[in-house]
Structure 1
Amino acid sequence: MCLAVPGRVIAILDDAPLTRRAEVDFGGVRTTINLAFVPEAAVGDYVLAHVGVAIARLDPDVARRTLAELGAPAPPEPAA
């Protein structure tokens, strides 16, 4: 079974179209993923990620509900 999980974009690391990468927080675990399929994703957005690739941008309420259903903590809100 495969699972895609929501995470919050913390920083954009590379903005080239095919190699666009970001640091993403998955409930306290931060990792780098590819954002080529979601070029509109920005810092603070939630994305749905599968095997190191963001496959969709998520509404924040949907992301929080999904994390709650999975029993995972939501990443903290970014500092203003």
Structure 2
Amino acid sequence: MCLGIPGEIVEIPPDQTDLARVDVSGVRRAVNIGLLDGQPLRPGDWVLIHVGFALSKIDEAEARAALEFLEGIGQAYEDELAALRDSSIER
């Protein structure tokens, strides 16, 4: 099962504006934010992530509700976090 997971932007490197370091339940990874080009993004913003890409910007309340739901489904969420933990985006 593939899920869209909310993550909080921690950093957007000035020399790689199409990437952001995002925190997803304690797992920090680089995520491609190029699909959100034109939307103002900064640390503290929340995005919905799928297969290494931020698909949309969401508000914190929506992110918290989604995380609560995902944590409630158990193993599928744990599997998705494990996949995220093992992944990386190389430039």
1:60 correspondence with 2:56: no
TM-score normalized by structure 2? 0.69
Once residues 71 and 30 of structure 1 are traced to their aligned partners in structure 2, the CA distance between those partners, rounded to angstroms, is: 17
Once residues 2 and 69 of structure 1 are traced to their aligned partners in structure 2, the CA distance between those partners, rounded to angstroms, is: 15
Task: Give the secondary structure class of the aligned counterpart of 1:71.
Answer: helix
User: Counterpart of 1:69?
Assistant: 69
User: Counterpart of 1:33?
Assistant: 31
Q: In proportion to residue count, which structure has more strand? A: 1
Give the C-alpha shift of residue 54 in structure 1: 0.3
The runs of 5 or more residues in structure 1 that have no matched partner are 73-80
1:29-78: CA deviation from partner (whole Å, max 9, x where unpaired): 00001001113222110000011100000011000011011118xxxxxx
TM-score normalized by structure 1? 0.78
1:23 correspondence with 2:28: no
Once residues 54 and 36 of structure 1 are traced to their aligned partners in structure 2, the CA distance between those partners, rounded to angstroms, is: 8
Give the C-alpha shift of residue 2 in structure 1: 2.1
Once residues 42 and 24 of structure 2 are traced to their aligned partners in structure 1, the CA distance between those partners, rounded to angstroms, is: 16
What fraction of aligned residue pairs are identical, expressed as a percent? Answer: 38
Task: Give the secondary structure class of the aligned counterpart of 1:68.
Answer: helix
Count of residue correspondences: 68
The runs of 5 or more residues in structure 2 that have no matched partner are 73-91
